[in-house]
Chain A
């Protein structure tokens, strides 16, 4: 019925063989350095073009915005100057409170809250597929970015995590992606229920929070934060709001629809938490060290008790 010429069939066979080999490599997740190198090369060649294009469009857009709204900008500058002076006064006031807070923490021997090192980035590209929810940002390994770093919006909403890093750009897997999972906790004084927030894979659908205890106290409107239990994300980042709650697994657990906060904003700029993993590692290491010290102490206590017992029995 369909007559393909010889060259077409040869090309088809060669291409199918190559693709089968590559598919085998993909599905078995074999890590070949040559592929990584080629992938980085293509990515690092194309992403600067996107970055340049984005800057060009932004500058043209900004030029016209400035041109057509000069009066509004002047008015805004006046208002911002007034607000700035008010904020400066507030900063002075807060600095005093901060000093007092630090002093009280030292008195009570509280653990110091960590200040995260943030890096701002602009979103320069979206995902090339409707099934993968990723964005490309204009910061890369040159700026100290590494894979798995948490990404948040300027409002403090969880956006996603860094997936792949190029030299001057990086890909971020969004919280809406079907592959994305993060531990969530309900932020209510009388309810601290935990669960897993999973991406729906769609922008127009809420995320699902499942693995919630069957008797957990959840209500519509409850705010969900990152629990920080997985060690992949800091605790306390805003995820979304509970939209609806229903039973799951034949009543053995509950699941909830979570309306994400990032749907309320346009993702143009994001922030990357650069030092979370290192802080996390340090805290894990310190807790491990503490555990080791405790174990050593317990062992030494047991040994001393045994020795005491022996000496007592010898004395008897």
Chain B
């Protein structure tokens, strides 16, 4: 229970950070999806079950700040968490490029799924332009952040291990 409360608190903190970042830096064109980064990293490290729960919670919180209690982010984030977990246990932790690559692909899938489910974008959107102008830069930004976050996580873990031995 303690673990769930701790992780949900982190997701709430990330949501607040994501919501307020453009207010403090109005010139930012793209705002990274910190909740997505957190969920994908959790999916890669801890597996599908854990990530899907937090994916649903994160999506639900994001939906509350758009229009309704259950919107599109809840199913999309849960699905992306499930797909990201396919990478879980399939690479060495020393391979620092796998998590950013996972987040890059997850962002593309996440945004495309959202657009396909969004009624007013589905037929009206120019997908090629949106991918080029918005989705790919955002995926690159998310994966860059993931690289540094995973780097910190990795060296933090090694420091703990070296302390034990």
**A interface vs B, CB < 8 Å?**
2, 4, 7-8, 11-12, 15-16, 18-19, 22-23, 25-26, 35-36, 38-39, 42-43, 46, 49-50, 53-54, 57, 123-132, 134, 136, 163-164, 171, 178-179, 201-204, 266-268
A126 and B23 contact, CB distance less than 8 A: yes
A8 and B26 contact, CB distance less than 8 A: no
B154 to chain A, nearest CB (A): 24
B44 within 8 A of A: no
**B interface vs A, CB < 8 Å?**
12, 15-16, 18-24, 26, 29-31, 35, 47-49, 52-53, 56, 60-62, 64-75, 78, 82, 85-86, 111, 114-115, 118, 120-121, 124, 133-134, 138
26 example contacts (A-B, Cβ-Cβ < 8 A) are as follows A11-B52, A11-B53, A16-B78, A18-B56, A19-B56, A23-B70, A23-B75, A46-B16, A46-B61, A46-B65, A54-B20, A57-B20, A124-B20, A126-B19, A128-B18, A129-B66, A129-B114, A130-B138, A131-B121, A132-B66, A163-B67, A171-B65, A178-B124, A202-B133, A204-B29, A268-B23
Q: How far is the CA of A26 from the CA of B61 in the complex (A)?
A: 15
* B-side contacts of A127, CB under 8 Å: 19, 65-66
B155 to chain A, nearest CB (A): 29
B145 to chain A, nearest CB (A): 15
Q: How far is the CA of A137 from the CA of B71 in the complex (A)?
A: 21
B66 and A125 contact, CB distance less than 8 A: no
A129 and B16 contact, CB distance less than 8 A: no
The residue in chain B whose Cβ has the minimal distance to the Cβ of A124 is B23
A178 and B69 contact, CB distance less than 8 A: no
* B-side contacts of A57, CB under 8 Å: 20, 24
Task: Say whether chain B's binding surface is mostly helix, strand, loop, or mixed.
Answer: helix
Q: How far is the CA of A42 from the CA of B72 in the complex (A)?
A: 17
Q: How far is the CA of A4 from the CA of B48 in the complex (A)?
A: 8
Q: How far is the CA of A2 from the CA of B89 in the complex (A)?
A: 10
A125 and B29 contact, CB distance less than 8 A: no
Q: How far is the CA of A202 from the CA of B125 in the complex (A)?
A: 12
Q: How far is the CA of A204 from the CA of B21 in the complex (A)?
A: 19
The residue in chain A whose Cβ has the minimal distance to the Cβ of B72 is A26
* B-side contacts of A268, CB under 8 Å: 23, 26
